[in-house]
Chain A
Amino acid sequence: MEKTLEKILKDTRENEGNLISILQDIENAFGYIPENAVNWLASKLDINPSIFYGIATFYAQFHLKPRGKNIITACCGTACHVKGSDRLINGLKQELALPEGEETTKNMEFTLEKVNCIGACSIAPVFIINKKVHGKASADKLIKEIRSIKGSKNEGK
């Protein structure tokens, strides 16, 4: 981890980076913001870790907990909302057995996250499953997709 962080620090100094770009680099490198990464950088830069924490919790892009292997992004833009994305999200939560207030399943297989708008409103409702965009989504199509991901994992065992 330290090597990666040293590189991030070096890049930051060379490219007039700031705390946001440091956090973006950490997120890219580790998939989330690990606490000890922040502590390490905070002591190197002589900044209170709470400053990092303040920024990391302010912006939606940063995650403080590790995320699942498969990422499902639900678009919650207006067009998706009027076309029933809420119902679809509830159905997915049930399918993944996600406890209230949690984004990631216990076995770390799936993360279901909501984003404000990905700007593909013409094909609403939109879900992104592992970076592939699914437009004009419906409950049964999504559940099928999730079950096939689950299935391919079981077959691999």
Chain B
Amino acid sequence: MKANNTVIKVCMGTGGIAAGGSEVIDAFRTELNTAGIAATVEKNCLMHKVGCRGLCAKDVLVDVIINKEKTTYQYIKPEMVSRIVKEHIIENNPVIDWAVGDDYHNFHKKQLKVVLSDCGSIDPEDIDAYINGKGYEAARKVLTTLKPEEAIEEIKASGLRGRGGAGFPTGVKWEVARKQNSKQKYIICNADEGDPGAFMDRSVIEGNPHAVIEGMIIGAYAIGSDKGYVYIRAEYPLAVERLRKALSDAKTKGFLGKDILGTKFSFDIKVKLGAGAFVCGEETALIASIEGQRGMPRAKPPFPVYSGLWGQPTVINNVETFANVPYIIRNGAKWFSSFGTEKSKGTKVFALTGKIKNSGLIEVPMGIPLREIIYDIGGGIEGGKLLKAVQTGGPSGGCIPADMLDTPVDFESLAKAGSIVGSGGMVVLDEDNCMVNMAQYFLQFTQMESCGKCVPCRIGTKRLLEILDRITKGKGKEGDIELLEKLSADIKAASLCGLGQTAPNPILSTIKYFRNEYEAHLKGKCPAAVCKELLTYYILEEFCKGCGACLRACPSKAITGEKKKLHKIDPAVCIKCGACFDVCKFKAVKKE
């Protein structure tokens, strides 16, 4: 029977699962069973769970591969499975109208996958899948043929810089740690991906956990550490589960534990769960948290490579940084440094989200113009709206306005434009987004997450937020914009850690490029119709059909009207939740 050479791959990243991936897998199992092909076919009909394959907006994505001929389906729901099984798997007639189109292929065309090269194609819960694709070869090469110093040299030569945000050269960090004369050293993987709007590290761990583990093994060997930790957010249950399985499989296969691969090198990794504090992404706060204390940063120096966990030399690298390491060793430093720009080598993974058509996880060579990411990979703006800006770097970053789209995406160019690469969040904003509201949003976040240890951050972010609050309520005063600028500069200069030093960035960059929006708010107008206090909802007589949809949706009973007659919103009762605006099919609800 034809299904003998059939492989079905169902996307089971967090996005895929949320869109119903498990139900789709179940549906395939049931359908294959009832089609009567299960008895002879099941053993050969491989059903893989794969990690994130990037284009989460089109989930659930399913690959059906028959005799190496692959068809990718998008937006698959359980009830669609029976037709795929019948027409494609049994009759060998792919269901073309459900297959992905040009935008799916364009999404992948300009990408360059190093870290994500195995994500979405191998089963992350199967260590053999990773090994069959040359997995753990790099660790074997380093442990059995290279001296620690040689491994460090290779990483230095590749030009790899930390992918967590600061961009510090990884090889240099390792070299300093190597030179520390200490019996105990630690290596920590920072998987406390706290930036809202970012899910790169989660996807890498969910999609290819062994690459991270292999990178840590190589790092540990290079610096001379026998104990590692992965500090990971508890909010990522699937990533935690897959990581734990991967660690135990790696141990069974002898890649972790005592005398790894027959050498005298021993190394083990423990998982530490974060408890929900953004500041713990800062390395000294992370260390405090692993030690069981409140995650408060301390002044640097001394840097953790000199004195880190329990006072011992400690290397902390980000998930993506570690995941790059095995690929660099496997293919050589020269290969890696052939990608990217002079000072920013290699690729970077971004979470492309917001008002973009193809939102999802992407990996691009450093230095690619922002325009190519937005229009070629991302497919442009949703719903034919106008692009306003691209926010990068989360609460520590800033906005790149639409007229600067030719900015190359690398550490130096984004910094020059007043933003940062950061950990890799990239949120696209359109004409319906208010820039003052965006600044307020990020300040709410940083103010809440400020640990409270140092005064400039604790009180300064609070003051900044108060000023932004009154501006968005139409109660701003003359001089508020200048006050924001002055206060921001002081907070940046005087805060203890990265959180406070970068917290004002979203304000400074929006004032720099969108000062007119701040000024409009001071005059009592929100140009994008976002700030609640500055807008009213009303119903347009000529469009209202009296269908009652808004009336039923309104949670505050602010809408009155009889069937088939004009409905009305009582502004005194309206809480401006926008439920009526969302449900009206006739565009009769207006906000201004």
Contact = CB atoms under 8 A, between A and B. Distances in A.
Mutual binders A and B: yes
A142 B193 CA distance: 28
Interface string A80-103: 011110011011101100000000
B354 A79 contact: yes
A23 B291 CA distance: 14
Nearest to A91: B577
Interface string B472-508: 0000000000000000000000000000000000000
Contacts of A61: 234, 275-276
Interface string A56-75: 00111110000000000000
A139 B203 CA distance: 28
A82 B430 CA distance: 9
A116 to B, nearest CB: 5
B562 interface: no
Contacts of A34: none
A118 B56 CA distance: 14
B469 to A, nearest CB: 13
Given A61-B275, A116-B445, A78 B579 contact: no
Contacts of A59: 274-277, 295
Interface in B502-527: none
A135 interface: yes
A39 interface: no
B319 interface: no
B193 A119 contact: yes
Contacts of B545: none
A144 to B, nearest CB: 9
B348 to A, nearest CB: 17
A21 B203 CA distance: 25
Contact of B576 (A62, A87, A117): A87
A120 interface: yes
A139 B294 contact: no
Interface stretch (A1-9, A104-112, A121-129, A149-157): A121-129
B112 to A, nearest CB: 20
A126 B556 CA distance: 22
A119 B198 contact: yes
Contacts of A48: none
Interface stretch (B10-18, B148-156, B182-190, B401-409): B10-18
B360 interface: yes
A90 B292 contact: no
A29 interface: no
A54 B294 contact: yes
B45 interface: no
Contact of B575 (A19, A90, A116): A90
Contact of B15 (A54, A122, A138, A139): A122
Contacts of B351: 119, 121
Interface in A132-147: 133, 135, 138-140, 143
B575 A139 contact: no
Nearest to B451: A58
Interface string B265-283: 0000000011111100000
Interface in B17-52: 17-19
A91 B59 CA distance: 28
B555 A91 contact: yes
Given A61-B234, A122-B56, A116 B196 contact: yes
A144 B445 CA distance: 30
Among B17, B275, B292, B445, find the residue whose CB has the most chain A CB atoms closer than 10 A.
B275
Interface of A: 17-21, 23-24, 54-55, 58-62, 76-79, 81-84, 87-88, 90-92, 94-95, 115-124, 126, 133, 135, 138-140, 143
Complex A-B, nearest 4 residue pairs according to Cβ-Cβ distance, in ascending order:
A18-B292, A78-B197, A122-B56, A60-B276
30 contacts: A19-B293, A55-B294, A58-B294, A59-B277, A61-B276, A76-B196, A78-B394, A78-B442, A79-B354, A81-B441, A82-B433, A84-B578, A88-B577, A90-B575, A91-B577, A116-B278, A117-B195, A118-B14, A118-B235, A119-B193, A119-B235, A119-B236, A120-B56, A120-B199, A121-B199, A121-B353, A122-B15, A124-B354, A126-B18, A138-B582
